[in-house]
Amino acid sequence: MKKVLIKSAQVIDELSAYHGKTVNVLIDKGNIVKIGKEAPEADKVIDAKGMILSPGWFDLRASFGDPGYEYKEDITSGLETAAAGGFTGVALLPNNKPVTQTKNDVSYLRSRNIDSLTEVFPVGAVSIDTKGEELTEMIDLHHAGAVAFSDGIKPIWHTDILLKSLQYLQKFDGLLINLPEDMRLNLFGTMNEGVNSTMLGMKGMPKLSEELIVQRDLELLQYAGGRLHFTNISSEKSVAMIKAAKKRGLEVSCDIAAFQTAFDDSALSGFDTNFKVNPPFREKKDNKALIKGLQEGTIDVIVSSHIAQDEESKKLEFDLADFGIISLQTVAHNLTMLSSAVDMELLIKAVTYNPRKLLRLPIPVVKEGEGANLTLFDPTHEWTLDRKSNKSRSKNSPYWDKTIKGKAVAVFNQGKQYIDDAV
């Protein structure tokens, strides 16, 4: 590993003595060896003026499809994509084939952490085969290294399973993550239910399908106790209910997909299946509520919600195409867009400190003598997501072949480094 000097970077890390300061940072043999105004010699010097240096980014929600769906994304391509996106840690959803529900499944995913820049943190399934009918052995999965429990891209529809999970996980202060969705209300739905779905003649997915489950889960949390995290929320009312629950003292948290506020349901007028996601893009007023939720701290985490889909899953009629966007490499662009309305410190905290705190993981600090677990982010860098820059095995992105602004240009972790050619 080369000795690298990062010059004139602004540090954003509230746990660091250098928070808010512009400094030079020297990295050698995987460690932060010097921080200050000096510019010692190095093998590689990065002029980081106007850039942000923070603890390494952490993604609380991504799917690599390995094992079982390697033709869409495997661990190797997923880790390369995550590193290029600025992430030093990724929590992987359990929706593989087989589902992440045994100690061996967890061990298989964690085995890649020995020689990888980006570390994998498996999320164990709540129910066997994520069918929502029978609980997995969550204590065993916890001891094997599962960092949280969720049925991933599937909601926990069974009320008793959700209740028992909240109770069961309290034995080790585990985190339950649920996608709030009433699958019956969303059955055959393809986009947000509203004026645009009516005009386009497409079956809608009502906000009610999300809001009913948020309300249900909060009532169960009040009753049972425990820690509950809502993932991929999308509606104005969901934000309001979670905000009220936090004020009541419930241990509830939530996240949004980085791309959720970048589009609204009018973006689907061209029937481009790269805009087909679950939850769907909602109305402008919902996006404003999500942004306000970030500003106020109601929304704790920003996730990539990276789901790779091969061309056979996307090059179909809109109603037949699968949901999902590859997004690990474009989170930096979404943060740049959000920074016009939300303080950059809050955004960085939502991809560094908050997700690790929820998972009870060690939190890296920009400090001399610490291991370098860092992300250097250039919010002004313009680039194009195309076949040359894309690290994923799939290309299902609304940003494909488009020039966007904001990029992670250097990443350091576990004695390894990724430095973009642009710097």
Angle at 286 between CA 285 and CA 288, to 5 degrees: 65
To 10 degrees, the CA torsion angle through 274, 280, 284, 285? -170
Q: What is the pTM of this model?
A: 0.97
Encoded tokens for 173: 């202060």
Confidence of residue 160 (pLDDT cuts 50, 70, 90): very high
> What's domain 56-358's architecture?
Alpha-Beta Barrel (3.20)
Domain borders along the chain are 4-53+367-419, 56-358
Count of Cβ atoms closer than 10 Å to residue 419 Cβ: 15
- In the chain, what are the helix, strand and coil shares in percent, each to the nearest 5? 30, 25, 45
DSSP letters for 110-156? HGGGGG-SSEEEEEEPSBGGG-SSSB--HHHHHHHT--EEE-TTS--
CATH code for residues 4-53+367-419 = 2.30.40.10
The per-residue pLDDT for range 281-330, each reduced to its tens digit, is: 999 999 999 999 999 999 999 999 999 999 999 999 999 999 999 999 99
Confidence of residue 2 (pLDDT cuts 50, 70, 90): confident
The per-residue pLDDT for range 356-394, each reduced to its tens digit, is: 999 999 999 999 999 999 999 999 999 999 999 999 999
Predicted pLDDT at 26: 98
* Cβ–Cβ < 8 Å for 268, 291: no
The yes-or-no verdict on residue 252 having pLDDT over 70 is yes
The yes-or-no verdict on residue 145 having pLDDT over 90 is yes
The per-residue pLDDT for range 203-231, each reduced to its tens digit, is: 999 999 999 999 999 999 999 999 999 99
Strand partners, 217: none
Q: Give the integer Cα–Cα distance in Å for 237 and 157.
A: 20
Closest CA to 142 of 97, 177, 174: 174
Q: Give the integer Cα–Cα distance in Å for 417 and 423.
A: 13
Predicted pLDDT at 1: 67
3 state SS of 64? coil
- As a whole number, the mean pLDDT across the chain is 97
First to last CA, the chain: 17
The per-residue pLDDT for range 81-140, each reduced to its tens digit, is: 999 999 999 999 999 999 999 999 999 999 999 989 999 999 999 999 999 999 999 999
The per-residue pLDDT for range 60-73, each reduced to its tens digit, is: 999 999 999 999 99
The yes-or-no verdict on residue 6 having pLDDT over 90 is yes
Predicted pLDDT at 422: 85
Express as a percent the part of the chain with pLDDT over 90: 99
Express as a percent the part of the chain with pLDDT over 70: 100
